[in-house]
Chain A
Amino acid sequence: MELSGANILIESLKQEGVEYIFGVNGGAAMPIFDALYEHPDVKLIMMRHEQGASHAADGYARATGKVGVTLATSGPGATNLVTGIATAYMDSIPMVAITGQVFTHLMGNDAFQECDVIGVTRPVCKHSYLIKSGDEVAEVIAEAFHIASTGRPGPVVVDFAKDAQIHESLFRYPEKINIRSYKPKVEGHPRQIAKAVELIHNAERPMIYAGGGVPLANASEELRELAIKTGIPITVTLMGLGAFPETHPLAMEMPGMHGSCCANYAFTDSDLVIAVGARFDDRVTGDLTKFAPNAKKIHIDIDASCIGKNVPIDVPIVGDAKRVLAEMNKLVHRVDIEPWMRQIDEWKEQYPFEYQQNGDNIMPQYVIEQIYDLYSDAIVVGDVGQHQMWAAQYFKFTEPRQWLNSGGLGTMGFSLPAAIGAQLGCPDKTVVNINGDGSYIMTIQELVPAITMKLPLKIFIINNMYLGMVRQWQELFHQKRYAAVDYHDNPDFALLAEAFGATGIRVERIEDVRPALEKAKGITDGPVVIDFIVDEEENVFPMVPAGAGLGDVIRGLA
């Protein structure tokens, strides 16, 4: 049977098991939206801004491990997607972003709502396709899903000319994908694995440094086995939180700029760093010349270009973390590192995450502690800024895909739409959105679809009336010149939530924090927004200043 390109697209998405597409309609994508109209299997989630659509698809992908799909029209629709595509790219999130494009005969003519989407997105996606004819659709979609979800995952852009959406051709979905130039290496080299195991068995001060690649590879179980079987302490990055339970005695918590002193001191003293699915990001390593200076380094990563990019590696292992760790686990045994473990425990005891109560103010860390106490099983979607760091520090994540945030690009406004995607992907879970006042207002319009769909999102705003992280840097490094960070003109977010049609609660006193969180638990017929008015000038500590070594951590202001 002959189908239009738009219908072939939807049939292809069905073949890929797509349940939801997050999109915003527009001229050059109308045939696709028409094909989705009242579709029984592939549901369109109508977002209010294309950036929100892309983050929602991203949140869906992070929470479920499946490919997220976002859809927008040409020109401004497509350019609005770019932030979301770049966000997914930096964090290796599988996504297919479909954009309408003007008619092929108009392309290159500066037509209405025309934009060179392939050109604009080239540096921020894993791959991209331009569809100029209906008979290319099935193969392109099959390849796009294959590329997005295999190897090091990432977003794939499919730019789809309007005439190709209309043009009818025969639908036949490829059974097998074979791209001769794309064969990700998943098995680790046995000799490299043996070398790594030898280093592990001979180390005196070893540590595991696991990143976002572990949850992406669904390798948390294997990671846990490695740590527990060997007895080696472990730090998990912001992107990997939950891959290893923070509550376990071997856990040293998050490393890096706002990480635990224990993890950072461990790097500085360690003689063997076992990196798994982590990329030695500058926010983790600090000054590279002072990073783990005495340690040999093993690096397991699916992306060869990540290995040796920032830090020289002694034993590189290119492969899928799940498979490599499984092979390693067959060979490792318990290591005798008692003096090292005593040191680790001492650091942990001496330098836990801590804060001081300031008068009657609600301390942001207190709010996070209370959220953790009441919602410890929830999926937590964090935004970007101080609240993100406090959430990472004070919420003890125990499961992979429990903590979703934009770690690489650091996209403010990510979390509310991402929470929508996560809730749709995991309808049986409670989804908590921990947001900042600055980031919340960047994508606040996405409350509308959340309300329309009656999603029981718990939206908790840590409101300090500032772009707090920037203010903190200004306080520490710019002589308190608070340029362009004062958000005291914020609207009343509780009233605003009510105006949208959600439940809004404003909390200004410490004693109201817990009751409000408890009340939110009982609201299940739609989103609830709690605006926590917190201490305005609380800082995130510990802190390794940008460019300093991990050993030079500031534990707090005297």
Chain B
Amino acid sequence: MTEERHIFSVLVENRFGVLARIAGLFSGRGFNIDSLNVAETDDPDVSHMTIVTHGDTQIIEQIYKHLNKLIDVIKVTDLTVENHVEREIVLIKVYAEPQRRGEILQIMEIFRAHTIDVSPDSLIIEVTGDEGKLKAVVDLLRPYGIQELVRTGKIAIMRGAAK
């Protein structure tokens, strides 16, 4: 069976130990986590997790069912099969000597990226977008020399009215 990437949106009780339960479920059963993002929702009692994982159909079904089985999990949605948007922020510290800064700023403009820090020979750039856009930016900046790169992991939300 072919492996597919899936994004799970998981609402959980904002309680001690919930993250460990989710992480333990994945490690204990040998499921993969590609990225995991956790934060409070509008309701402080509820946290939202975006989990990006991959596996064949049977594995994905098992992940879905096992997430649902955890007592602290309120709702699980496989966003991959829904109409959704996904975003990720990446912070890139790139070498930028004064004579090359102009080129870099041009690239940034195309991708609507921001400069958030400048030092004599480097810039810190913030870019938001989906996977394709972030890959394009990183690929274009790589020749200048990337010193450090940090990503938030994906967050995702379903389009349209809440179901």
A residues sitting closer than 8 Å to B (CB atoms) are: 118-119, 122-123, 126-128, 130, 147, 179-182, 303-305, 308-309
A130 touches B16 (CB 8 A): yes
B159 contacts the other chain (CB 8 A): no
Q: Which A residues touch B68, using CB under 8 A?
A: 304-305
- Residue-wise, chain B 53-80 has the 8 Å CB interface mask toward A (1 for contact) of 0000010011001101101111000000
Least CB distance from A28 to B in Å reads 19
Least CB distance from A178 to B in Å reads 13
Alpha-carbon separation in the docked complex, A303 to B62 (Å): 12
B88 contacts the other chain (CB 8 A): no
Q: Which A residues touch B74, using CB under 8 A?
A: 180-181
Contact flag A122-B21 (CB < 8 Å), given A305-B62, A308-B61: yes
Chain A: CB-nearest residue to B21: A122
Alpha-carbon separation in the docked complex, A308 to B65 (Å): 10
Least CB distance from B152 to A in Å reads 26
Chain B: CB-nearest residue to A179: B71
Residue B13 contacts which of A119, A123, A181, A309 (CB distance < 8 angstroms)? A181
Chain B contact residues: over half helix, strand or loop, or mixed?
helix
Q: Which B residues touch A130, using CB under 8 A?
A: 16-17
Q: Which A residues touch B58, using CB under 8 A?
A: 308
B20 touches A127 (CB 8 A): no
Contact flag A182-B71 (CB < 8 Å), given A118-B17, A122-B24, A130-B16: yes
A123 touches B69 (CB 8 A): no
Q: Which B residues touch A118, using CB under 8 A?
A: 17
Chain B: CB-nearest residue to A126: B71
Interface residues on B, range: 10 to 19
B69 touches A305 (CB 8 A): yes
Least CB distance from B32 to A in Å reads 18
- Supply 10 further A-B pairs (C-beta < 8 A) apart from A181-B12, A181-B13, A181-B74: A122-B17, A122-B21, A122-B24, A130-B17, A147-B71, A303-B69, A305-B62, A305-B65, A305-B66, A308-B58
Contact flag A122-B20 (CB < 8 Å), given A304-B65, A305-B62, A308-B61: yes
B28 contacts the other chain (CB 8 A): yes
Least CB distance from A258 to B in Å reads 28
Chain B: CB-nearest residue to A182: B71
- Residue-wise, chain B 34-70 has the 8 Å CB interface mask toward A (1 for contact) of 0000000000000000000000001001100110110
Q: Which A residues touch B21, using CB under 8 A?
A: 122
Least CB distance from B88 to A in Å reads 27
Contact flag A181-B17 (CB < 8 Å), given A122-B24, A304-B65: no
Residue A309 contacts which of B16, B20, B24, B62 (CB distance < 8 angstroms)? B62
Q: Which A residues touch B73, using CB under 8 A?
A: 181
Q: Which B residues touch A147, using CB under 8 A?
A: 71
Chain B: CB-nearest residue to A127: B71
Residue A123 contacts which of B16, B17, B28 (CB distance < 8 angstroms)? B28
B residues sitting closer than 8 Å to A (CB atoms) are: 12-13, 16-17, 20-21, 24, 28, 58, 61-62, 65-66, 68-69, 71-74
Chain B: CB-nearest residue to A308: B61
Alpha-carbon separation in the docked complex, A182 to B24 (Å): 19
Residue A181 contacts which of B20, B28, B65, B71 (CB distance < 8 angstroms)? B71
Least CB distance from B2 to A in Å reads 17
Least CB distance from A185 to B in Å reads 10
Alpha-carbon separation in the docked complex, A147 to B71 (Å): 8
Q: Which B residues touch A180, using CB under 8 A?
A: 74
Alpha-carbon separation in the docked complex, A179 to B74 (Å): 9
Interface centre among B20, B66, B71, B73 (most CB of A within 10 A): B71
Q: Which A residues touch B16, using CB under 8 A?
A: 130
Interface centre among A118, A122, A182, A305 (most CB of B within 10 A): A305
Least CB distance from A23 to B in Å reads 25
Alpha-carbon separation in the docked complex, A122 to B27 (Å): 12
Least CB distance from A308 to B in Å reads 6
Chain A: CB-nearest residue to B68: A304
Least CB distance from B24 to A in Å reads 5
Least CB distance from B75 to A in Å reads 8
B72 touches A181 (CB 8 A): yes
Chain B: CB-nearest residue to A303: B69
Least CB distance from A183 to B in Å reads 10
Chain B: CB-nearest residue to A309: B62
The 16 listed contacts between A and B (C-beta, < 8 Å) are: A118-B17, A122-B24, A123-B24, A130-B17, A179-B71, A180-B74, A181-B13, A181-B72, A181-B74, A303-B69, A305-B62, A305-B65, A305-B68, A308-B58, A308-B61, A308-B62
Alpha-carbon separation in the docked complex, A128 to B70 (Å): 11
Least CB distance from A19 to B in Å reads 26
Alpha-carbon separation in the docked complex, A128 to B28 (Å): 17
Alpha-carbon separation in the docked complex, A32 to B88 (Å): 50
Alpha-carbon separation in the docked complex, A309 to B24 (Å): 19
Least CB distance from B110 to A in Å reads 44
Alpha-carbon separation in the docked complex, A128 to B17 (Å): 10
Alpha-carbon separation in the docked complex, A304 to B67 (Å): 11
Least CB distance from A283 to B in Å reads 19
Q: Which B residues touch A308, using CB under 8 A?
A: 58, 61-62
Which 10 residue pairs across A and B have the least CB separation, nearest first?
A: A305-B65, A181-B74, A127-B71, A304-B65, A123-B28, A182-B71, A305-B66, A122-B24, A305-B69, A181-B73
Alpha-carbon separation in the docked complex, A212 to B91 (Å): 53
Alpha-carbon separation in the docked complex, A308 to B13 (Å): 28
Alpha-carbon separation in the docked complex, A222 to B21 (Å): 36
Least CB distance from B142 to A in Å reads 41
Q: Which B residues touch A181, using CB under 8 A?
A: 12-13, 71-74
Q: Which A residues touch B20, using CB under 8 A?
A: 119, 122
Interface centre among A123, A127, A128, A181 (most CB of B within 10 A): A181
Q: Which B residues touch A127, using CB under 8 A?
A: 71
Q: Which B residues touch A303, using CB under 8 A?
A: 69
Alpha-carbon separation in the docked complex, A303 to B68 (Å): 10
Chain A: CB-nearest residue to B61: A308
Q: Which B residues touch A122, using CB under 8 A?
A: 17, 20-21, 24
Least CB distance from A356 to B in Å reads 44
Q: Which A residues touch B13, using CB under 8 A?
A: 181
Chain B: CB-nearest residue to A147: B71
Alpha-carbon separation in the docked complex, A180 to B73 (Å): 9
Alpha-carbon separation in the docked complex, A126 to B69 (Å): 9
